[in-house]
Amino acid sequence: MRYSFSRKRNRFASVIALVSMLGMVLGVASLITVLAIMNGFAGELRGRILSLVPHGYVEPVDRGQLENWRALANTLEMQPQILALAPYISDKVIVAGPAQLRGAVLTAIEPSLEAGVSGIAAAMVHGSLTDLQAEPFSVVLGISLARALGVGPGDSVEVTIPRLTVTPLGTFPRSKRLRVTGLFQINAQPDGHQAYVSLQTGQRLFATGSAVDGLQVRTADLMTAPQQLAALAPVLPPGLVVRDWSQTQGSLFRAVKMEKIMVGLLLLSVVAVAAFNIVSSLVMSVAEKRGDIAVLRTMGARAGGIMGIFVAHGLGLAAAGIGCGTLLGVLLASNVAAVTARLEDWLGMKLFDPAVYFISELPADLLWQDVLWVVAAALLLSLVATLYPAWRAARIAPAEVLRYE
CA distance 278 to 285: 10
The torsion of the CA quartet 246, 255, 185, 339, rounded to 10 degrees, works out to: 130
Distances (CA, A) of 267 to 278, 327, 329, 350, 369: 18, 17, 13, 26, 17
Res. 403: pLDDT tops 80:
no
Rounded percentage of the chain residues whose pLDDT exceeds 90: 15
Output b/e per residue, 37-75; b: 16+ Cβ within 10 A: bbbbbbebbbebbbbbbbbbbbbbeeeebbeebeebbee
User: In which band, very low, low, confident or very high, does the pLDDT at 105 lie, cut at 50, 70 and 90?
Assistant: very high
What would the mean pLDDT of 337-356 be, rounded to a whole number? 72
Higher pLDDT, 302 or 181: 181
Tens digits of residue pLDDT in 180-225: 999 998 877 788 889 999 999 988 888 888 889 989 998 888 778 8
In a 3-state reduction of DSSP, which class is residue 376? helix
User: In which band, very low, low, confident or very high, does the pLDDT at 178 lie, cut at 50, 70 and 90?
Assistant: very high
Res. 167: pLDDT tops 70:
no
In a 3-state reduction of DSSP, which class is residue 129? coil
The answer for 27, left when phi > 0, alpha when psi is -120 to 50, beta otherwise, is alpha
Which helix (H) or strand (E) element contains residue 106? strand 101-109
User: In the predicted model, what is the mean pLDDT of the chain?
Assistant: 82
User: In which band, very low, low, confident or very high, does the pLDDT at 44 lie, cut at 50, 70 and 90?
Assistant: confident
> Which residue, among 42, 180, 41, 38, has the nearest Cα to 106 in the 3D structure?
180
Show contacts of 61-68: CB within 8 Å, 24+ apart: 61/239, 61/240, 61/241, 62/239, 63/213, 65/208, 65/211, 65/212, 65/213, 66/211, 66/212, 66/213, 66/214, 66/215, 66/240, 67/210, 67/211
Q: What is the largest CA-CA distance in the chain?
A: 110
For the chain, helix, strand, coil in percent to 5 are 55, 20, 25
CA distance 247 to 23: 42
Distances (CA, A) of 69 to 59, 72, 86, 133: 10, 5, 10, 19
Residue 250, pLDDT score: 66
How close are the terminal C-alpha atoms of the chain, in Å?
26
Residue 141, pLDDT score: 94
Higher pLDDT, 251 or 114: 114
Nearest-5° angle of CA 14, CA 402, CA 311? Answer: 40
Question: Residue 142: what are its φ and ψ, rounded to 5°?
Answer: -65, 145
CA distance 291 to 126: 82
Contacts (Cβ under 8 Å, ≥6 apart) of 377: 268, 271
